[in-house]
């Protein structure tokens, strides 16, 4: 009897932790921000009707949605959010010694500034 009393709460927790999110009402979608819609695509990716409702709302909003950002937010939710990161990088101009074949010796050359992004997706 003691075993059943212990197993029942653990079973309830296990079942509720694995439950899929419920479907979304279309009226609720119109109150979501653009980023929340994109995150919703990642959250409800296994529920076809919810994904179609979110896509319909995204289409209704039109060109306000930035596709690259939306895709990144969706993928961040699908994977572990804490592992997803976008870090801007910048490198200042640097003088380097480079071998010049025509002159047959090393010359001092300046490489230009560089900028970019380090995107880490697990």
Residues 89 and 118 both lie in one domain: yes
Residues 63 and 96 both lie in one domain: no
Query: Domain total for the chain?
Result: 2
pLDDT at residue 80, rounded to an integer: 55
Domain that holds residue 10: 1-78
pLDDT of residue 8 exceeding 70: no
* CA dihedral of residues 67, 72, 78, 82 (deg, nearest 10): -160
Q: What is the pLDDT of residues 24-77, one digit of tens each?
A: 777 788 888 888 888 888 888 888 888 899 988 888 888 788 888 888 888 888
pLDDT of residue 99 exceeding 90: yes
Residues 6+ apart with CB under 8 A from 76: 39, 42, 84, 121
Q: pTM of the prediction?
A: 0.48
Of residues 103 and 79, which shows the higher confidence score?
A: 103
Residues 29 and 1 both lie in one domain: yes
Residues 4 and 53 both lie in one domain: yes
Residues 20 and 70 both lie in one domain: yes
pLDDT of residue 91 exceeding 90: no
Residues 13 and 69 both lie in one domain: yes
pLDDT at residue 4, rounded to an integer: 57
Residues 113 and 69 both lie in one domain: no
Residue 53, Ramachandran bin (φ over 0: left; ψ between -120 and 50: alpha; else beta): alpha
Residues 70 and 89 both lie in one domain: no
Binned at pLDDT 50, 70 and 90, residue 120 comes out as: confident
Mean confidence (pLDDT) of the chain: 79
Residues 37 and 56 both lie in one domain: yes
What's the mean pLDDT in 91-96? Answer: 85
């Amino acid at each position: 009897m003691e075993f059943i009393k212990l197993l029942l709460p653990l079973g309830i927790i296990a079942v509720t932790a694995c439950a899929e999110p419920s479907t979304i009402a279309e009226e609720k979608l119109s109150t979501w921000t653009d980023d929340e819609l994109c995150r919703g695509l990642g959250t409800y990716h296994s529920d076809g009707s919810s994904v179609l409702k979110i896509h319909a709302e995204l289409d209704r909003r039109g060109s306000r949605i930035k596709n690259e950002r939306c895709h990144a937010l969706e993928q961040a939710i699908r994977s572990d959010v804490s592992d997803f990161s976008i870090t801007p990088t910048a490198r200042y101009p640097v003088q380097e010694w480079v071998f010049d074949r025509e002159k047959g010796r090393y010359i001092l050359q300046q490489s230009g500034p560089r900028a970019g992004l380090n995107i880490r997706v697990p």
